[in-house]
Structure 1
Amino acid sequence: MATHDTTETTDSTTGSTEEAVDWKTKLRYVLNSDFVRSSPYWGIPFLLMGFAVYGGIGYNLAVSFTDYAGIGRPEFTDLNLEMYRTALADESFRQAAFQNFVLLVGFTSISLGLGLFLAVLIDHGIRYRETIQTIYLLPMALSFVVTAQLWLWMYSSGDNGVLNVFVTTLGFESVNWLGNPRLALAAVIFALVWQFSGYAMVVFLAGLQSLPSDQFEAAKVDGASPTKTYLRIIIPQLKQASVGAAVVLMLFALKAFDFLYAISGDYRPPNGTDILATLMVREAFQYGQWAYGAAIATLLLLLSLAVIAPYLVFQYRQGSL
């Protein structure tokens, strides 16, 4: 009996020792992993980004559930959805959301179409391809503020407005491009397309040049014209480039506040061009409605996530994530 007890005690001690050794081995493996050993390099930036970015997003979300008006500190004792109900019932919010949607769709689709057209021309080997590529890519180097000032001068209704000088030379009356609510948003879209169509061109051109050249040769042998080759064979293979460029352009459209602020010189842009970003800043900084502005900012963040999420799903299904 005593021998049996000694055997059980020995087995228990051996098991505990093996568990301790196994635990130490696992700990040593974790401490020697690349993730832990590289943590001094990425840990501090990760914490700073988490505090400055995600901490700010969380605080903004919390403020949007209050009635904070900029005086004192927000009271987080009575959280509610009143500011979101106010936004959905506000005519200014609905109008800004609609104009933001028109800007997003119009700007993105025109930029993609023009960029694809230019990329096909350059890939097809037209003359002066390097010059054309440089001309359309240069506006990307400009900031929103510089672009706004340039087009503010172009759209000027006075004698110095380039477009109106051209219009009056043709015998027509000058046009108030930014003062007319029916033309203001189209004028803004045109200016943004001028700046960002070069980006779409570069993305599509990279996609075209990554395709194997034997496809062109096979289509040529089969008697297909260059137009049919691009429309039926080449362009359908640019799905990934199209989706990536579209996401970037849509995000630019959602955050075009600085362009509209620079072109108007005020928190209220020209009639017909108010978007969610300008409404958010105006409500918070000009009217002091910080909770309402925080609610609009949260809705704008949700719109951005609605743009990015399908792209991430697409990339995951393509095996790129």
Structure 2
Amino acid sequence: MFDSFRTVTRQLVGGEDHRTSADSDDEIRTDGGVAESRRRTGSSGGVLKAVRDRFGEDFLESTPFWLPTFLLMSLFVYGSIGWNFLISLTDFEGFAQEPDYSNLDFEMYVQAVTSEAVQTAVVNTFALLVAFTVVCLAFGMVLAILVDRGIRFENTFRTIYLLPMSLSFVVTAQFWLWMYNPTNGIVNMFFGVFGLGPYDFIGNPNLVLAAVIFALVWQFSGYTMVVYLASLRAIPTEHYEAAQVDGASTVKMYWRVIVPQLKNATISASVVLMVFALKAFDFLYSLVGNFRPPNGSDILATKMVREAFQNQNWAYGSAIAVLLFALALAIIGPYLFHQYKHDNL
């Protein structure tokens, strides 16, 4: 099937399979019949030839393999995103009634933007994004530098640091729920040694967001360590030797010579970490066991799910979902454009 499809596409775009032998009568005839036939072939293959010139010949030949998947993705993923946006323009309140598509407006977006609860969720979302990403990157870089300097049992340490990332958000949340327990949690037992506490990290609005960030850093700092370690191993040893010959201290060598070369690793890890931060709903839900986290840790994801499934405000929840999608697109879009511009996609 693949060979036959390739032959047809080459014929349509004027490929080598369409060419005839030099001694063919049609090649030397000048009557209108052959010319008309060629005009018909050229007109039908004009679009395909333009596609081939733009995307390459393999694009057309591989169409039977990627087109079905693309159509399914368009229907179930991008179609769902479009339907969600359409729902956000209505006053849909649940499956008990049909959504009214006759009166579409942006009332839900105005309500979301002017809502103090949504504004608080936006602030918490950005705080989680920035703090979680920055601390994870810094801690992971320090771990990578220490491991890269040739410590003993390197493979063991790498496995230990990376192991938490293999856990799901639900498992991590249950683990830290026990760690933060005011009665017998290890964290409060540690503070108790110094005569501090106990602290209700989950129930205290002033502590819960910091507790969530710390738990997520524990889970993902190993990932950033591996990313940075791979980049450090790719740096030639001559760069280290040149810095040492110039008399640079270890701190200055890393700060001025090595760290600037970790730019691409930092960008890639930052995008991944921010995406995971936006997906922290299941972590918060598992940590507190309800649609509503304590005041101080409500983010856009938890606000969206609570409005849709608990309060049955589907249109309002859809509007918040669109805002969350726009935030994710604003984070991932520039990175994808940068990668595409440098032919890395």
TM-score normalised per structure 2: 0.85
Which residue in the other structure is 1:294 paired with? Answer: 318
Task: Tell me the residue number matched to 1:82.
Answer: 107
**Among candidates 12, 23, 36, match of residue 16 of structure 1:** 36
Q: Which moved more, 1:161-170 or 1:71-80?
A: 161-170
Once the two structures are TM-superposed, the CA of residue 205 in structure 1 deviates from its matched residue by 1.1
Cα distance in 2 for residues equivalent to 1:264 and 1:164: 18
Q: What SS does the corresponding residue of 1:272 show, helix, strand or coil?
A: coil
| Match runs of 1:38-49 below 5 Å | 38-49=62-73
Task: Give the C-alpha shift of residue 11 in structure 1.
Answer: 5.9
State the alpha-carbon separation in 2 of the partners of residues 28 and 90 from structure 1. Answer: 51
Asked if 1:105 is matched to 2:130, the reply is: yes
Q: Which consecutive residues of structure 2, in runs of 5 or more, have no partner in the other structure?
A: 1-29
- Seen in structure 2, the aligned counterparts of structure 1 residues 283 and 218 have a Cα distance that, compared at 3 Å, is same
Using a 3 Å threshold, how does the CA distance of structure 1 residues 319 and 42 change in structure 2: closer, same or farther? closer
Deviations 1:211-258 (A, max 9, x none): 222211222222223322211111101111101100110111111000
Q: Superposition pairs for residues 45-60 of structure 1, below 5 Å? A: 45-60=69-84
Q: Distance in 1 between matches of 2:182 and 2:142?
A: 32
Structure 2 equivalent of residue 274 of structure 1: 298
- Percent identical pairs in the alignment equals 53
Deviation at 1:136?
Answer: 1.0
Q: Residue type of the partner of 1:84? A: Y
Bigger RCO of structures 1 and 2 (CA < 8 A, at least 6 apart): 1
Is the alpha carbon distance of 1:16 and 1:201 closer, same or farther for their aligned partners in structure 2, counting shifts above 3 Å?
A: same
> What is the aligned length?
311
Structure 1 residue 12, shift from structure 2 partner: 4.8
Cα deviation 1:139-172 (Å, max 9, x = unaligned): 00000000000000000112x2111122223322
CA RMSD, Structure 1 to Structure 2 (Å):
2.1
Instruction: Summarize deviations over 1:187-228 as a string: whole Å, max 9, x none.
Output: 000000000011111111111112222211222222223322
TM-score scaled to structure 1, two decimals? 0.91
Deviates more, 1:247-256 or 1:282-291: 247-256
Q: How does 1:219-238 map to 2 (within 5 A)?
A: 219-238=243-262
Q: 1:173 aligns with which of 197, 200, 208?
A: 197
Q: Quick one: distance in 1 between partners of 2:48 and 2:102?
A: 46
2: CA distance, partners of 1:36 / 1:287: 49
Give the drift of 1:94.
Answer: 0.6
Is 1:62 aligned with 2:96?
no
1:172 to 1:54, Cα distance in 2 relative to 1, 3 A: same
Tell me, in whole angstroms, the C-alpha distance in 2 between the residues paired with 1:253 and 1:85. Answer: 25
Name structure 1 gaps, 5 residues minimum.
1-9
Alignment of 1:105-254 (within 5 A): 105-158=130-183, 160-254=184-278
Amino acid at match of 2:178: W
Deviation at 1:22, TM superposition (A): 3.9
The residue aligned with 1:6 is none
Q: CA deviation at 1:25?
A: 6.9
Given that 2:202 and 2:288 are in contact with CA atoms closer than 8 Å, whether structure 1 keeps it comes out as no
- AA partner of residue 157 (structure 1): P
* Residues 164 and 220 in structure 2, CA contact (< 8 A), matched pair in contact too: yes
**CA spacing shift, 1:33–1:173, aligned 2, 3 Å:** closer
Q: Quote how far apart the aligned CAs of 1:28 are.
A: 9.2
**For 2:128, what is the secondary structure of its paired residue?**
helix
Specify the code of the residue in structure 1 equivalent to 2:39: E
**Partner of 2:98: helix, strand, or coil?**
coil
Determine the C-alpha separation between the residues in 2 that align with 1:28 and 1:180: 63
* CA deviations over 1:86-142 (Å, ceiling 9, x no partner): 001111101111111111110000000001111111112223322221111000000
Aligned residue identity for 1:233? V
